[in-house]
Structure 1
Amino acid sequence: MSTDDRRGQHAARRPAPDPLSPVRLGPVTLRNRVIKAATYEGLSHRARVTQDLVDFHVGYAKGGVGMTTVAYCAVAREGRTDRHQLYWTDESLPGMRALTDAVHAEGAAVSAQIGHGGPVAEPRGNKAPALSPSRFLHKQSMSVAHQIDHAGIARVTEAHAEAARRAIATGFDAIEVHLGHNYLISSFLSPKVNKRDDEYGGSLTNRARFARDTLRAIRDAVGDRIAIIVKMNMDDGVPGGFWLDEAIPVAQWIEADGTADALEMTAGSSLLNPMYLFKGDAPIEEFAAVMPQPIRTGVKLVGKRFIREYPYRDAFLLEDARQIRAAVSMPMILLGGITDRASMDLAMREGFEYVAMGRALLREPDLVNRIADEPATPSLCIHCNKCMPTNFTGTRCVLVDRTTTRSSGWGKPESYVG
């Protein structure tokens, strides 16, 4: 089917659905089309689920989302971007089951974002080298990511499949496979980071091989027992990086492979340009305050070169995501600046089946319920992005005092669940 045919097909669809109506996503039925986007919570401890992490996601379930996303569940120890981050150990599984049970009790579905941090991973905390398609100096952390070899690629591919199996075993309704932000698989897609000269480098076909093989391994492992969402960059936000002209054919290959139930398009590079995804203010002072020395001083002195500022507007990824939408027929999730009923309805009119909300829900976890009661309800999020540095101490909106609802045991073994 040509791009024009697909565009015509979407234009001829039934009238835009109500974003708060039930919908299928792979094998699961969601009570509405609103997904809490993956925002790293900073609430796990030594790769274990804490009561605060459970409460974080139960809050969004009570607040009305169709599905909430647990982020970030690394597929390997060395793939974590924080030393306390979840990964799929035997010890973590009871807590994950407790979390999914608690979310289900409130009527929402729950997804696990899985992936490998690659060059974005934190080697000191992980006590293991960060991995990358090619040797890479991470200037901000002053650490070197090592080139992953063929055995490592095979190991990480299978680790994704095993994470998907364990997600099923612990009650998750969906997994979100992270192919964005220059995490490991995304960095293979990027010609800026991937300088290999073997079958994983050079042409787009080669650079996409790791992504496609990993998705195939996941699908072969789990079949249709769990929904598979692919979160993939459209634009790294850096010169010479992965961009829309390459994202379109990769999306088409994923659709043809039959390895995903939905696509969620994103942008930016946690490695090279982290604010490109978020738009809005760049809180440099707040970032510096949570960094150890000497990184703190470096952020204060030259942070504006790395933590850039981009103007915010609602539905800010729509223009690019629309081009992916025209090129594929599979279900899609619109991410980026979804803040109110108007932006939800816009996404539906543009042919997207679901929307993902992030910062607006951090400010107001019950926003979906309030929009259901009064469609004209505005979001109170001001896109100051001061929530971003809080992921080191528990992700939250700094404009709302929720300290009284946080369990006193956060970050301590007695706060573990399961």
Structure 2
Amino acid sequence: MLKKGSRGARSSRGSRMFSEDNSVHKFSRIKNTNLLDEDDEIYNTRNRQDQLLSNSNASSPYNDRSSSSPMDKSPWSSQTNVNVPFEDIDDNFSDNVLMGSLVREEGHIYSLATSGDVLYTGSDSRNIRVWKNRREFAGFKSNSGLVKAIVISDDRIFTGHQDGKIRVWKVSSRDPSVHKRVGTLPTMKDYIKNSMKISNYFEVKRHKNASGEFPIPRCIESVIAHDDSVNSIITGFDGLVFTGSADGTVKVWRRELQGKGTKHFFSQTLLKQECAVTAVAVNPDTTVVYSGSSDGLVNFWERENHLSHGGVLRGHKLAVLCLITAGNLVFSGSADMGICVWRRMGMDHICLSLLTGHNGPVKCLAAERDDESAATERRWILYSGSLDKSVKMWRVSENSVPVAWKGCASGAPIAIPSSLPAAPSFEARNRVDGIQN
């Protein structure tokens, strides 16, 4: 838990951006009248991104010491009218709109997780910020390097760190703003360097032991899955687990009962390519699997009787860094600083729009249902975290009309690429036994 009265982060001109106490800051609600085209120049290094942000802050007419709003000191304030209240946004103006930005100068954003009205953000400052109803609610810190992944499971928060360990946090039942660390996993001998869905891979006891402390979960299985680092792992339908690796493959694993427990066995290789697989997402409702790669492409597979390659979505100039699904929508964030919004329609995918506004690679995405949307419309609140040290909040509708933009490799405003040739698929030939630890 962050202590009250500690010093806040300061901008390049010395004015305070945020304090470390439990003061309340809102996402500024702003109206975005244009979806900007992608920048022609892509900044690929963190130092160049920092320089860009620093120069933007220094030259902004809003960077005034007397201003009380953190958005007024934002690099994006000069591009939008931050004084427009949220209630004044015309619902008929745009289906996909930038609603606001959260800017802190304490670190690059690497991870996001949302559950209901709560949003968790992780950065390389080692801080985990908690936002409730789009107001700053709480925060806690771990001295374990940058926060690479966040998973919310009931009243527990799992955070994956640069040191290869996962910290387990318990939300206080008396005060939801208090987060207590109740465990660290794996043990010294069992390092796991990629995020995963914790409940499927570790025994998690939900009751206190005799001493009143929460026991540390233990690793119950370890599988040698790839020839290079595993960049993404996600559980899907029918008890399947999907992994994507820097070795260029996407693999499928099935979970089977063995004795009193379960083990995971290799089932199928969906993709084998030269480019690294950087992200994997699954839509459990439509049983579609998506993978993003360092070449900027998104492959997808559909399940009928078996998983078959459906096509390739072409919308990015640089590597895809994150993927999520929400309803019939697919969101892909990229090193080119853009977010592609795709809608699945039958066997095809239509590119609805390109969301721009970040000044650095988009590293993480999270979405929740917009409770204020009409009964006839499905809208989502999309959160995007970037290495430009900001989190942006977007309102996206499944009913929006496709907008012409320059992101598609073919130059077409609508991308329907499911007729592309299938990627290689291999039936399982071997079973990989788990290695007990």
- Under a length normalisation based on structure 2, what TM-score does the superposition of the two structures give? 0.24
Structure possessing the higher relative contact order (Cα contacts under 8 Å, 6 or more residues apart): 1
Question: Is the helix fraction higher in 1 or 2?
Answer: 1
Question: Is the strand fraction higher in 1 or 2?
Answer: 2
> For the pair shown, which has the larger CA radius of gyration, 1 or 2?
2
